[in-house]
Homo-oligomer: A and B are copies of this chain.
Amino acid sequence: MQKSSQLQMICSCILHFSTDIGINIDMTQNERRAENLTAALRRAGVRMTRQREALLSILADAEDHPEATELQRRANEKVPGISLSTVYRTLSALETEGVILRHQFDGASARYEHSETQHHDHMIDVDTNEVVEFSNERIERLQAEIADAMGYEIVHHRLELYVRKKARS
């Protein structure tokens, strides 16, 4: 859906991230992901059906953050006739197992991603809806300090930057 480019960030201290990987997908990595997802469902003690297989492979391959209907569409290319209920039920099982993440950006529908990669936050391009991942250790640390200073411990957090491409200077 969206074009790809290696995005880098060289902020004063930490990190960088790539969002999409264009053409050359590391199949081994995707296969490992698919296996992780399958294992998670097995662990949950459920049956492996062909609609679930399709969904798992789609999720493992997805480099973006698709919503439920989009996942249904993609999965149906492999195995026609997968209902939206099945998509939601499978997603919810996978989320419970902790192998995928569900995001609720602004007021829109939920979007999902496999959680195999390390923790990161999101920048959402308000014009294109494209999602760019990033991570900054200093922000993480500050968050923990703030919570701690107020007598809390963080269960989880959301940092979402709604952004727009800068006009070229």
Residues of A within 8 A of B (CB): 7-12, 104, 106-107, 123, 125-126, 132, 134, 136, 138-139, 142-143, 145-166
Give this chain's copy count. Answer: 2
Beta-carbon contact of A161 and B154 below 8 Å: yes
A–B Cβ pairs within 8 angstroms, 13 of them: A8-B150, A9-B150, A123-B152, A143-B159, A143-B161, A146-B161, A151-B165, A152-B164, A153-B163, A153-B164, A154-B161, A157-B161, A158-B160
Bound CA–CA A151/B139 (angstroms): 19
Q: A136 touches which one: B123, B146, B151, B156 (CB < 8 A)? A: B146
What DSSP secondary structure best describes chain A's contact surface?
mixed
Beta-carbon contact of A151 and B166 below 8 Å: yes
Closest to A127 in B: B155
Beta-carbon contact of A162 and B155 below 8 Å: yes
A10 neighbours in B (Cβ, 8 Å)? 149
Most chain B beta-carbon contacts within 10 A, residue among A138, A155, A164: A155
Given A156-B162, A160-B158, A163-B154, the answer on whether A149 and B9 have CB atoms closer than 8 Å is yes
Most chain B beta-carbon contacts within 10 A, residue among A10, A107, A146, A165: A146
A8 neighbours in B (Cβ, 8 Å)? 149-150
A138 neighbours in B (Cβ, 8 Å)? 138, 142
Bound CA–CA A107/B11 (angstroms): 32
A11 neighbours in B (Cβ, 8 Å)? 142, 145-146, 149
